[in-house]
Amino acid sequence: MTSLKITGMTCEPCAAHIKAVLEKVPGIHAADVSFSHGAAQLDVEPGTPSEALTAAVAALGYRATLADAPASPDNGGKARGDGLHIAVIGSGGAAMAAALKAIERGARVTLIERGTLGGTCVNIGCMPSKIMIRAAHIAHLRRQSPFDAGIAASTPAIDRAALLAQQQARVDELRHAKYEGILESTTAITVLRGEARFHDARSLIVKRPGGDERVVAFDRCLIATGASAILPPIPGLADTPYWTSTEALASETIPERLAVLGSSVVALELAQAFARLGSRVSILARSTLLSGEDPAIASALTAAFRAEGIAVLEHTQASHVAHAGDAFVLATAQDELRADQLLVAAGRAPNTRGLNLDAAGVAVDARGAIAVDAGMRTNAPHVYAAGDCTDQPQFVYVAAAAGTRAAINMTGGEATLDLAAMPAVVFTDPQVATVGVTEAEAKQNGIETESRTLALDNVPRALANFDTRGFIKLVAEAGTGRLLGVQVVAPEAGELIQTAALAIRNRMTVQELADQLFPYLTMVEGLKLAAQTFSKDVTQLSCCAG
């Protein structure tokens, strides 16, 4: 008997198809193909070339190797993914990064998606929101800018339907270029439409759109199912036509009055965008804006929002929500708030409920997030997870990096993800950008710090822009001066934070940062100036002093 290892089968009919083809190959008397074992047992006449057997299987789109063939080592001497079948649940940033890296390392991938290809970021998250935010920024500048004395301002006419069409066209273009088109042209990745759940520790059941179910056996599995908006348990809320960010970004209208429940990233970005496009916006914050960040960030952002006419209601919660006569009524301890539309942006929960994780023995935390180690391994053998469905930070670039590392590890490599210098940006105006630790976090870790905060009226670029809202704060280790964290509120904070991240990654001291050359009249020069404040009074320097 001759044995073949076969990868790429996704169901029992696949095995039957392979069996029928193999038995037509000259020299094969009988073939027994097992989908569950990913193998075939062949009764073969002596002298039948093995290439004929593997070629027959390959012609069907599967991969076959002789069972006794040696594994191919990679350049590092470790076993690669040749012959492995990897199931990937999801098609967003983590899923695609993993699938592409896995096939690069010799594996075959079945990618399972229940909805639109591309996941949250390109379809209903990062891309459409940043387009809308940019449009709102342009509208704001036409209405008001620091140069109105010399450039006449005017109230812009907002055609939300036209803006939405432009936004959706770019989303569709990017989804096709970065997801659909790549998958269509990559034969080593099989896209299977349907909703997956674990059958056991080595197989999935996929419920297809038509209702039929298919079993997918795997050697390794990556869970990359993302997250969805949380609905707070506020009486009456579930019975109202509230918005999540998905509905808000797809709306063809700008409500006259918009109430926003939430005070973190999504809530604040969309609140300001709608305000700049014409809504009267009220934000209900249980604590303060971005309460998990340095308190100075909340103060600066609250002042900026209120200066634009956005009502920021701190330490305010809705105790009841009703909808009647085309209006929302929110009851709070302080007052009653009425709005034409309500945006609920109170966070996102991992999409793990329907996966039947118990069948595979995969552990989750109280939020339903999958616990992973630095290599994206779950507690269950052969099962990995990456992206917003895990206990890692919910950023698409973290998800993509995690997906790549998971694929390396699923195919015999060793890769980890270090988040110690992870930059983050909130795309409000001014923007908020952070990396490393805050003073409070350092103290919790038993680290003594020394900090400096530089107001933007000390940064020449901000002065030239006539926009000095915000600050740059550096947190350094006491004694050594090693940079530990940076917090920035500035109109272009997102464009300078990566420089800070690189400084932290390379264990630079504030003096080493101060000694670097920075181009004059850039916002990033503010990092140099902030670093110089540890040893001198920058108000007494010439404008471009080194």
Active-site residue list: 9, 11, 14, 62, 121, 126, 543-544
How many beta carbons lie within 10 A of that of residue 194, not counting itself? Answer: 19
Q: Indicate the burial class of 446 (C-beta count within 10 angstroms; 0-12, 13-18, 19 or more).
A: exposed
The answer to whether 410 and 403 are in contact (CB under 8 A) is no
- Minimal CA–CA distance to 110: which of 3, 215, 263, 239? 215
Structure tokens at 44: 């073969």
Q: How far apart, in Å, are the Cα atoms of 540 and each of 470, 527, 535?
A: 21, 17, 12
- Minimal CA–CA distance to 312: which of 263, 374, 358? 263
* Start-end of H helices in 44-177: 50-58, 93-104, 119-124, 126-143, 160-175
| DSSP secondary structure of 236-277 | TGGGS--B-HHHHHH-SS--SEEEEE--SHHHHHHHHHHHHT
Q: Which residues of 148-177 are buried (b: 16+ CB within 10 A; e: fewer)?
A: eeeeeeeeeeeebeebbeebeeebeeebee
How many beta carbons lie within 10 A of that of residue 46, not counting itself? Answer: 5
Sheet (strand 383-385) strand order: 189-193, 108-113, 85-89, 220-223, 383-385
The answer to whether 355 and 272 are in contact (CB under 8 A) is no
Q: List all residues 6 or more positions away from 408 whose beta carbon is below 8 Å from its beta carbon.
A: 101, 105, 414, 415
| DSSP secondary structure of 158-212 | P-HHHHHHHHHHHHHHHHIIIIIHHHHH-TTEEEEESEEEEEETTEEEEE-TTS-
Strand 471-477 versus strand 483-490 pairing type? antiparallel
Residues linked to residue 320 through DSSP beta bridges, in sequence order: 331
Distance from C-alpha of 520 to C-alpha of 545, rounded to nearest angstrom? 10
| DSSP secondary structure of 284-298 | E-SSSTTTTS-HHHH
Distance from C-alpha of 309 to C-alpha of 185, rounded to nearest angstrom? 50
Which contacts (CB < 8 Å, 24+ apart) does range 499-504 have? 499/524, 499/527, 500/423, 500/435, 500/436, 500/527, 501/421, 501/422, 501/423, 501/435, 501/436, 502/421, 503/527, 504/420, 504/421, 504/435, 504/436
How many beta carbons lie within 10 A of that of residue 431, not counting itself? Answer: 21
To the nearest 10°, the Cα dihedral for 270, 273, 277, 282? 60
